[in-house]
Amino acid sequence: MLKRNERAVMKIIYKASKATGNSVLAPDYILDRLNPRLDVDNNKLEDIIEKLVLEEYIDFVRAEKKGEVVFVFNLLHKGIAFERELENERRSRVRWIAVTIIGAVISTLIGLAIRQVLS
């Protein structure tokens, strides 16, 4: 399971790489698309990318294009399935919320029934 910053960076990489499975992105491109509240700079971005490589979502190479540093990304198996993973996490959260609400309603109904029987 990815952390918040990792998920945000992976979403950007996935959107850019979805069609062909690979992409060439400048670090500034990624940083500009991140939410400012995440507080990610160049060093943190490279750490996040390294974590995504360790988790086997992407393959990553740092290159230079016209004197500018760029990142070359290839989606691996888990990277290709990233969108499905996000959907499964969302379903899991919705299911957990639904079970919690149903449990609260049932507990309330049982409590009311017990009060009616005892009074």
Each residue's pLDDT tens digit, 105-117? 999 999 999 999 9
On whether both 66 and 88 belong to a single domain, the answer is no
On whether both 88 and 69 belong to a single domain, the answer is no
Across the chain, mean pLDDT equals: 93
Q: What is the DSSP string of 4-53?
A: HHHHHHHHHHHHHHTTTSEEEE-HHHHHHHS-GGG---HHHHHHHHHHHH
On whether both 88 and 72 belong to a single domain, the answer is no
On whether both 91 and 59 belong to a single domain, the answer is no
Convert the pLDDT of each residue in 36-45 to its tens digit: 888 888 899 9
Answer whether 29's CB lies under 8 Å from 70's CB. no
On whether both 66 and 22 belong to a single domain, the answer is yes
Amino acid identity at 49: I
Percent of the chain with pLDDT over 70: 100
Residue 25 has pLDDT above 90, yes or no: yes
User: Which residues lie below 8 Å from residue 66, measured CB to CB, with a gap of 6+?
Assistant: none
On whether both 6 and 23 belong to a single domain, the answer is yes
User: Which residues lie below 8 Å from residue 2, measured CB to CB, with a gap of 6+?
Assistant: 10, 52, 55
On whether both 50 and 93 belong to a single domain, the answer is no
Domain count, the chain: 2
* Residue numbers of the domain that contains 94: 83-119
Buried b (16+ CB within 10 A) or exposed e, 34-52: beeeeebeeeebeebbebb
Global pTM value: 0.81
Residue 1 has pLDDT above 90, yes or no: no
Q: What is the pLDDT of residue 85?
A: 92
On whether both 46 and 10 belong to a single domain, the answer is yes
CATH label of the domain that carries residue 30: 1.10.10.10
